[in-house]
Amino acid sequence: MKDYILREQNKIEFHYYLEGNSHSINAKTLHSCNTELLGILNKLSNFTQFDYNIETVALEEGGVKQIWSFVSEYSSQVTMILTLLMILLMLRPSQDKELTQLQKENLRLQNQKIELEIENLKNKEIGDKIESTSVEIINEDQEIIVHKSKFYESLEKELRVVKFETNTFNKDNKIINTEIVKRDEFIYYIKHKDDLPELIDEYAKIEVIAPVLLNRKYKWKGLYNGEIIDFYMGEKEFKKDIENGDIAFKSGSLIKCVLIQKRKINEIGIEYITTYSVKTVLGVSDNGTHIETVKGKIKRIIDKEKKDQLKLEF
């Protein structure tokens, strides 16, 4: 992706090219597209706290052209919003390994990085450059990904659309920027799965409120990071140790464990946890006494060896 220079602009045109030089488009398709475009703009507005109004200019022929005019006291803010919108509409969701790993980490860290980039962009003025890396980070916001996915999914279903073009204009109606996405590229923007990479807390601490000691697949209840959760106990050996009396365990005991959190994205792009599962119990604490499990000891030794190896490498 190229860098962009901020040049004053106040209008954006969405041009839907149709086969056979047609000048009409399905009303439901256009409505769906507008809904997702406004969804992206709403997210950008929430990010930046910029205030503006949008006025729709009459549709034009030549395929179908729709122009939105932005009204605000601050032309630099409109310029920033239009530039970001245009870039985001053509920028594919990243499959880069580094960003995929970022998604595996705490969502809060990802949002903090986005907020930092937004603050950086808000300080830009007309004539400044927008670095590609800044927009690529914003492009990883899950709500924006979902809105873009639904936008291009609507276009893909409208078989007559052969390409989608975005143009931005200044107050003299001169084109400032142009981007085009061809029909065979729509697929790259469509998100087909709502599953996200699992979150793994290698050393989670859960205060057990309601254990299930029967040999049945019921969920346990516990307190994790100040929140009450229902979770599966996937550690069979730990259950056997409790049943055999090898580990003293009761309600109120604290377990140290490897916790797997499965996530999904809902239809408006909000992430949520679907299930919590304890993969490995590392130890149990009760009344100031801590008992380390065999697997806990093995993991502690392995992790220490990894840290020592990293120190040697540096």
> For 56-70, 110-124, 203-217, which range has the lowest pLDDT when averaged over its residues?
110-124
Q: Which tens digit of pLDDT belongs to each residue from 263-290?
A: 887 766 677 899 999 999 999 998 878 8
104 pLDDT band, cuts 50/70/90, is: very low
Taking the CA atoms of 253, 258, 260 and 261 in sequence, report the sign of the dihedral they define.
Answer: positive
Q: Which of 134, 14, 93 is nearest to 269 (CA)?
A: 93
- What pTM was computed for the model? 0.64
128 pLDDT band, cuts 50/70/90, is: confident
Residue 245 clears pLDDT 80, i.e. is over it: no
Map out the domains of the chain with their CATH numbers.
Answer: 4-189 (no CATH), 195-291 (2.40.50)
Q: Which tens digit of pLDDT belongs to each residue from 170-212?
A: 999 999 999 999 999 999 898 866 667 788 999 999 999 988 8
